[in-house]
Amino acid sequence: MVEFIVYGHPATAGSKDSFPIRRDGRLTGRTVVVDSDRRAQPWKAHVALAAVNTGTPCLCGALRLDLAFYFHRPRAHYRTGRNAHLLRDAAPAEHITRPDVLKLARAVEDALTGVLWRDDAQVCQEVLSKHYAEPDEPERVVVSVEQLEVVPVPIPGQLEIA
C-alpha cells in the first residue's frame, strides 16, 4: 500500500478547452486540448512530485484508490464577534459545494498516470470524499493506493518458460 499527503488547494480537471493550431497563418487541421482550470497543471505537478518522493515504482495490475480532499470552510460558516471561532448552527457538516469530487479525482488520476501506475484504467475500485479541514489544518488530499493483484512484468531480454 502506498499512502501520501499532498498539501495545497486541490484543483480540478475535467473541463477542457481546445484551440486550433495555426502555422504561417493557416489552420493545420490539428487542435490543442488544455484544462480549463489554470491551477490544474501546477496541482498535477505537485501531486506527481509527492508520488515520486514515496519511492514507489510504477504499479501493475488492478488498483484501489482512496482520495480524501480537505478544504477550508468559508467565513460565512462561522459566527461573528467574540464567538468568531465557533461554527454557526446552520453551517453544513459535509462539503456539498463545488468543486465536484469527480473532477478533483480526475486531476489526481491524471497526475499519477505514468508515475504510480501505467494507466488510470488500472484503478478498479475508488473511494472519494470531500471534507472540511479543521481551522488550524491546511487544505490537502490524502492519497492511498492499494494493489489488488500483482501482475508480473516481463523483463526485456528474459526468456519466458511455459
Q: Quick one: how many helices (H) and strands (E) in the chain?
A: 2, 6
Q: Quick one: pLDDT at residue 130?
A: 98
125-146 pLDDT, tens per residue?
A: 999 999 999 999 999 999 999 9
| pLDDT of the residue at 88 | 94
Q: Is the pLDDT of residue 153 over 90?
A: no
- In angstroms, rounded to a whole number, what is the distance separating the alpha carbons of residues 130 and 70? 6
Q: Which domains does the chain have, with CATH numbers?
A: 2-13+41-147 (3.30.1330)
Q: Which amino acid is at 154?
A: P
Tell me what pLDDT residue 121 has.
93
pLDDT of residue 14: 72
pLDDT in tens, 80-135: 999 999 999 999 999 999 999 999 999 999 999 999 999 999 999 999 999 999 99
Residue 113 grid coordinates: 498516470
pLDDT for 162 = 54
pLDDT at 156 over 80: no
Q: Which of 43, 39, 3 is nearest to 144 (CA)?
A: 3
Beta strands at 16-23 and 26-35: parallel, antiparallel or unpaired = antiparallel
Q: How confident is the model at residue 10 (pLDDT cuts 50, 70, 90)?
A: very high
C-alpha cell at 34: 488544455
Quick check: 158 pLDDT over 80? no
> Which residues, at least 6 apart from 116, have a Cβ–Cβ distance to it below 8 Å?
2, 51, 56, 58, 59, 145
Q: CB neighbours of 36 closer than 8 A, spacing ≥ 6?
A: 15, 16, 17
Give residue-wise pLDDT tens across range 48-71.
999 999 999 999 899 999 999 999
145, 154, 152, 151: which is closest to 120 by C-alpha?
A: 145
